[in-house]
Protein backbone atom coordinates (compact mmCIF):
# COMPACT_ATOMS: atom_id res chain seq x y z
CA UNK A 1 0.00 0.00 0.00
CA UNK A 2 1.27 3.44 -0.93
CA UNK A 3 1.55 5.89 1.96
CA UNK A 4 0.41 9.36 0.84
CA UNK A 5 2.36 12.01 2.71
CA UNK A 6 1.17 15.61 2.87
CA UNK A 7 4.09 18.04 3.10
CA UNK A 8 3.19 21.54 4.21
CA UNK A 9 4.30 24.55 6.21
CA UNK A 10 3.89 28.28 5.72
CA UNK A 11 5.55 30.43 3.08
CA UNK A 12 9.35 30.14 3.07
CA UNK A 13 9.52 27.73 6.02
CA UNK A 14 11.34 25.23 3.77
CA UNK A 15 8.86 22.91 2.00
CA UNK A 16 10.76 22.98 -1.30
CA UNK A 17 14.03 22.42 0.55
CA UNK A 18 12.60 19.34 2.27
CA UNK A 19 10.81 18.12 -0.86
CA UNK A 20 14.18 17.89 -2.67
CA UNK A 21 15.43 15.58 0.10
CA UNK A 22 12.87 12.91 -0.85
CA UNK A 23 14.90 12.34 -4.01
CA UNK A 24 17.48 10.61 -1.86
CA UNK A 25 14.91 7.87 -1.08
CA UNK A 26 13.37 7.72 -4.59
CA UNK A 27 10.07 8.95 -3.17
CA UNK A 28 8.17 10.98 -5.80
CA UNK A 29 6.88 14.46 -4.95
CA UNK A 30 3.87 16.18 -6.50
CA UNK A 31 4.39 19.93 -6.21
CA UNK A 32 1.17 21.99 -6.01
CA UNK A 33 3.02 25.26 -6.73
CA UNK A 34 4.38 23.76 -9.96
CA UNK A 35 0.93 22.53 -11.01
CA UNK A 36 -0.48 25.97 -10.18
CA UNK A 37 1.97 27.43 -12.70
CA UNK A 38 1.07 24.83 -15.36
CA UNK A 39 -2.70 25.37 -15.16
CA UNK A 40 -2.40 29.11 -15.87
CA UNK A 41 -0.36 28.77 -19.07
CA UNK A 42 -1.93 30.50 -22.12
CA UNK A 43 -4.53 28.18 -23.66
CA UNK A 44 -5.63 26.71 -20.35
CA UNK A 45 -9.14 27.33 -19.03
CA UNK A 46 -7.82 28.96 -15.83
CA UNK A 47 -5.75 31.42 -17.89
CA UNK A 48 -8.86 32.66 -19.65
CA UNK A 49 -10.78 32.96 -16.38
CA UNK A 50 -7.93 34.95 -14.79
CA UNK A 51 -7.77 37.41 -17.70
CA UNK A 52 -11.56 37.83 -17.59
CA UNK A 53 -11.51 38.43 -13.84
CA UNK A 54 -8.36 40.57 -13.42
CA UNK A 55 -8.11 42.24 -16.85
CA UNK A 56 -5.28 42.21 -19.39
CA UNK A 57 -3.15 44.53 -17.24
CA UNK A 58 -1.86 41.41 -15.48
CA UNK A 59 -0.39 40.05 -18.76
CA UNK A 60 3.22 40.43 -19.88
CA UNK A 61 4.09 41.44 -23.45
CA UNK A 62 4.40 37.74 -24.37
CA UNK A 63 0.78 37.29 -23.11
CA UNK A 64 1.81 35.09 -20.20
CA UNK A 65 0.55 36.00 -16.73
CA UNK A 66 2.74 38.52 -14.93
CA UNK A 67 2.99 36.65 -11.62
CA UNK A 68 4.55 39.57 -9.78
CA UNK A 69 1.69 41.89 -10.85
CA UNK A 70 -0.98 39.33 -9.96
CA UNK A 71 0.75 38.58 -6.65
CA UNK A 72 0.82 42.30 -5.78
CA UNK A 73 -2.95 42.38 -6.27
CA UNK A 74 -3.99 39.20 -4.49
CA UNK A 75 -1.70 39.36 -1.47
CA UNK A 76 -3.10 42.84 -0.64
CA UNK A 77 -6.74 41.89 -1.00
CA UNK A 78 -8.43 38.83 0.47
CA UNK A 79 -11.50 38.98 -1.78
CA UNK A 80 -9.35 39.02 -4.91
CA UNK A 81 -7.19 36.23 -3.52
CA UNK A 82 -10.32 34.13 -2.97
CA UNK A 83 -11.36 34.79 -6.57
CA UNK A 84 -7.97 33.64 -7.85
CA UNK A 85 -8.04 30.58 -5.59
CA UNK A 86 -11.50 29.67 -6.88
CA UNK A 87 -10.14 29.68 -10.44
CA UNK A 88 -6.80 27.93 -9.86
CA UNK A 89 -7.39 25.45 -7.03
CA UNK A 90 -9.93 23.10 -8.70
CA UNK A 91 -7.60 22.62 -11.69
CA UNK A 92 -4.61 22.02 -9.40
CA UNK A 93 -6.55 19.54 -7.26
CA UNK A 94 -7.66 17.56 -10.31
CA UNK A 95 -4.10 17.20 -11.66
CA UNK A 96 -2.68 16.46 -8.24
CA UNK A 97 -5.12 13.63 -7.52
CA UNK A 98 -4.61 12.18 -10.99
CA UNK A 99 -0.85 12.05 -10.42
CA UNK A 100 -1.30 10.67 -6.90
CA UNK A 101 -3.47 7.85 -8.27
CA UNK A 102 -0.87 7.02 -10.92
CA UNK A 103 1.79 6.56 -8.24
CA UNK A 104 -0.59 4.50 -6.11
CA UNK A 105 -1.28 2.24 -9.10
CA UNK A 106 2.45 1.84 -9.68
CA UNK A 107 2.57 0.61 -6.06
CA UNK A 108 5.18 3.15 -4.98
CA UNK A 109 6.04 2.79 -1.31
CA UNK A 110 5.16 6.44 -0.69
CA UNK A 111 4.26 9.60 -2.57
CA UNK A 112 4.48 13.17 -1.29
CA UNK A 113 1.92 15.89 -1.96
CA UNK A 114 3.71 19.21 -1.40
CA UNK A 115 0.82 21.60 -0.74
CA UNK A 116 1.37 25.04 0.86
CA UNK A 117 -2.35 25.47 1.55
CA UNK A 118 -3.12 21.91 2.72
CA UNK A 119 -4.96 23.12 5.85
CA UNK A 120 -6.35 26.40 4.49
CA UNK A 121 -7.97 24.53 1.58
CA UNK A 122 -9.15 21.58 3.73
CA UNK A 123 -7.16 18.97 1.81
CA UNK A 124 -5.99 16.92 4.80
CA UNK A 125 -8.33 14.05 3.94
CA UNK A 126 -6.40 13.39 0.70
CA UNK A 127 -3.30 12.26 2.62
CA UNK A 128 -2.46 9.55 5.18
CA UNK A 129 0.08 11.50 7.22
CA UNK A 130 0.97 15.19 7.49
CA UNK A 131 4.49 16.54 7.84
CA UNK A 132 4.85 20.23 8.68
CA UNK A 133 8.09 22.14 8.04
CA UNK A 134 8.40 24.87 10.63
CA UNK A 135 10.69 27.79 11.50
CA UNK A 136 10.26 30.68 13.94
CA UNK A 137 8.57 33.81 12.57
CA UNK A 138 11.74 35.90 12.47
CA UNK A 139 13.61 33.27 10.41
CA UNK A 140 10.61 32.90 8.11
CA UNK A 141 10.47 36.65 7.42
CA UNK A 142 14.23 36.93 6.90
CA UNK A 143 14.42 33.94 4.53
CA UNK A 144 11.42 35.13 2.54
CA UNK A 145 12.84 38.64 2.11
CA UNK A 146 16.23 37.23 1.11
CA UNK A 147 14.85 34.67 -1.33
CA UNK A 148 12.38 36.99 -3.08
CA UNK A 149 14.38 40.20 -2.64
CA UNK A 150 11.21 41.68 -1.19
CA UNK A 151 10.49 44.42 1.33
CA UNK A 152 9.33 43.63 4.86
CA UNK A 153 5.85 44.90 3.95
CA UNK A 154 5.57 42.65 0.87
CA UNK A 155 6.86 39.66 2.80
CA UNK A 156 4.46 40.25 5.70
CA UNK A 157 1.45 40.48 3.37
CA UNK A 158 2.35 37.03 1.99
CA UNK A 159 2.93 35.57 5.46
CA UNK A 160 -0.42 36.95 6.65
CA UNK A 161 -2.23 35.33 3.72
CA UNK A 162 -1.66 31.91 5.36
CA UNK A 163 -2.40 30.17 8.63
CA UNK A 164 0.51 30.71 11.09
CA UNK A 165 2.98 27.84 10.93
CA UNK A 166 2.66 27.21 14.69
CA UNK A 167 -1.03 26.50 14.14
CA UNK A 168 -0.20 24.08 11.32
CA UNK A 169 2.39 22.33 13.50
CA UNK A 170 -0.32 21.55 16.08
CA UNK A 171 -2.30 19.66 13.45
CA UNK A 172 0.63 17.66 12.05
CA UNK A 173 1.57 14.00 12.54
CA UNK A 174 5.21 15.14 12.65
CA UNK A 175 7.02 18.47 12.59
CA UNK A 176 10.47 19.24 11.15
CA UNK A 177 12.17 22.23 12.76
CA UNK A 178 14.04 23.82 9.83
CA UNK A 179 15.58 26.70 11.82
CA UNK A 180 18.98 25.00 11.92
CA UNK A 181 21.19 23.74 9.09
CA UNK A 182 19.89 21.78 6.10
CA UNK A 183 21.86 18.81 7.42
CA UNK A 184 19.92 18.90 10.71
CA UNK A 185 16.68 19.09 8.73
CA UNK A 186 17.70 16.10 6.66
CA UNK A 187 18.43 14.08 9.81
CA UNK A 188 14.97 14.89 11.22
CA UNK A 189 13.32 13.83 7.96
CA UNK A 190 15.23 10.55 7.95
CA UNK A 191 14.20 9.80 11.55
CA UNK A 192 10.53 10.46 10.78
CA UNK A 193 10.54 8.29 7.64
CA UNK A 194 12.15 5.47 9.62
CA UNK A 195 9.60 5.82 12.40
CA UNK A 196 6.82 5.58 9.84
CA UNK A 197 8.46 2.49 8.24
CA UNK A 198 8.71 4.24 4.89
CA UNK A 199 12.47 3.74 4.60
C1 LIG B 1 -0.34 34.88 -6.84
C2 LIG B 1 0.68 34.16 -7.70
C3 LIG B 1 0.46 34.47 -9.19
C4 LIG B 1 2.09 34.67 -7.30
O5 LIG B 1 3.06 33.94 -8.01
P6 LIG B 1 4.60 33.84 -7.51
O7 LIG B 1 5.35 33.19 -8.64
O8 LIG B 1 5.03 35.18 -7.01
O9 LIG B 1 4.58 32.88 -6.24
P10 LIG B 1 4.47 31.27 -6.18
O11 LIG B 1 3.34 30.80 -7.02
O12 LIG B 1 5.81 30.67 -6.43
O13 LIG B 1 4.01 31.03 -4.67
C14 LIG B 1 4.94 31.20 -3.61
C15 LIG B 1 4.27 30.87 -2.31
O16 LIG B 1 3.25 31.80 -2.05
C17 LIG B 1 2.24 31.18 -1.27
N18 LIG B 1 0.94 31.33 -1.98
C19 LIG B 1 0.70 31.23 -3.30
N20 LIG B 1 -0.60 31.42 -3.56
C21 LIG B 1 -1.19 31.63 -2.37
C22 LIG B 1 -2.54 31.90 -1.99
N23 LIG B 1 -3.51 31.95 -2.89
N24 LIG B 1 -2.79 32.09 -0.68
C25 LIG B 1 -1.81 32.03 0.25
N26 LIG B 1 -0.52 31.79 -0.05
C27 LIG B 1 -0.22 31.59 -1.34
C28 LIG B 1 2.64 29.70 -1.16
O29 LIG B 1 3.32 29.49 0.05
C30 LIG B 1 3.59 29.52 -2.29
O31 LIG B 1 4.50 28.45 -2.03
C32 LIG B 1 0.61 32.61 -7.49
O33 LIG B 1 1.09 32.29 -6.23
C34 LIG B 1 -0.78 32.02 -7.65
O35 LIG B 1 -1.24 31.86 -8.77
N36 LIG B 1 -1.45 31.68 -6.52
C37 LIG B 1 -2.77 31.08 -6.56
C38 LIG B 1 -2.64 29.59 -6.60
C39 LIG B 1 -2.20 29.02 -5.29
O40 LIG B 1 -2.92 29.06 -4.30
N41 LIG B 1 -0.99 28.44 -5.27
C42 LIG B 1 -0.46 27.84 -4.06
C43 LIG B 1 -0.72 26.40 -3.89
S44 LIG B 1 -1.82 25.59 -4.98
N1 LIG C 1 17.84 25.05 6.84
C2 LIG C 1 18.02 26.13 6.07
N3 LIG C 1 19.08 26.95 6.28
C4 LIG C 1 19.25 28.07 5.53
N5 LIG C 1 18.41 28.46 4.54
C6 LIG C 1 17.34 27.69 4.29
C7 LIG C 1 17.09 26.48 5.03
N8 LIG C 1 15.96 25.92 4.55
C9 LIG C 1 15.52 26.73 3.56
N10 LIG C 1 16.35 27.78 3.41
C11 LIG C 1 16.18 28.89 2.46
O12 LIG C 1 14.99 29.59 2.83
C13 LIG C 1 14.25 29.99 1.68
C14 LIG C 1 12.84 29.40 1.77
O15 LIG C 1 12.90 27.98 1.64
P16 LIG C 1 11.96 27.21 0.60
O17 LIG C 1 11.95 27.91 -0.72
O18 LIG C 1 12.35 25.78 0.64
O19 LIG C 1 10.56 27.43 1.33
P20 LIG C 1 9.09 27.01 0.88
O21 LIG C 1 8.40 26.66 2.14
O22 LIG C 1 9.16 25.99 -0.18
O23 LIG C 1 8.54 28.38 0.31
P24 LIG C 1 7.19 28.67 -0.58
O25 LIG C 1 6.03 28.57 0.35
O26 LIG C 1 7.37 30.05 -1.08
O27 LIG C 1 7.17 27.66 -1.69
C28 LIG C 1 15.04 29.52 0.46
O29 LIG C 1 15.84 30.59 0.00
C30 LIG C 1 15.91 28.40 1.03
O31 LIG C 1 17.12 28.22 0.32
- What pTM, to 2 d.p., does this model score? 0.97
182 Cα to the center of ligand 2, angstroms: 10
196 Cα to the center of ligand 1, angstroms: 30
Closest C-alpha among 129, 120, 128, 116 to residue 31:
116
Res 117: pLDDT = 98
Q: How far is residue 66 from each of residues 36, 57, 91, 159, measured CA to CA in Å?
A: 14, 9, 19, 21
Q: Which domains does the chain have, with CATH numbers?
A: 3-195 (3.40.50.300)
Res 89: pLDDT = 98
Give the chain's mean pLDDT. Answer: 97
Distance of CA 193 to the CA centre of its chain: 20
Q: Summarize pLDDT for 23-76 with one digit per residue, the tens.
A: 999 999 999 999 999 999 999 999 999 999 999 999 999 999 999 999 999 999
155 Cα to the center of ligand 2, angstroms: 14
Of all protein residues, the one whose alpha carbon is nearest to atom 15 of ligand 2 is: 14
Residues in binding site for ATP = 12-17
Ligand nearest to the CA of 7: 2
ipTM over 0.85: yes
Neighbours of 116 (CB within 10 A): 20
Of all protein residues, the one whose alpha carbon is nearest to atom 13 of ligand 1 is: 33
Q: Cα(28)–Cα(38) distance, rounded to whole angstroms?
A: 18
Q: Summarize pLDDT for 109-158 with one digit per residue, the tens.
A: 999 999 999 999 999 999 999 999 999 999 999 999 999 999 999 999 99
Of all protein residues, the one whose alpha carbon is nearest to atom 24 of ligand 1 is: 161
Spatial contact of 13 and 135, defined as CB atoms under 8 Å apart: yes
Classify residue 63 as exposed, middle or buried by CB count within 10 Å of its CB (0-12, 13-18, 19+). exposed
Q: Summarize pLDDT for 80-120 with one digit per residue, the tens.
A: 999 999 999 999 999 999 999 999 999 999 999 999 999 99
Res 139: pLDDT = 98
Q: Cα(182)–Cα(179) distance, rounded to whole angstroms?
A: 9
Amino acid sequence: MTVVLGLTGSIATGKSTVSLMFDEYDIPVIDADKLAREVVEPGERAYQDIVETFGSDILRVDHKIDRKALGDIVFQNEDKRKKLNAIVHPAVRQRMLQKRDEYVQEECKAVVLDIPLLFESNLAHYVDKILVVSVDEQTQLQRLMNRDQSSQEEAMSRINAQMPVAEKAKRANAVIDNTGSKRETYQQLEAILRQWNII
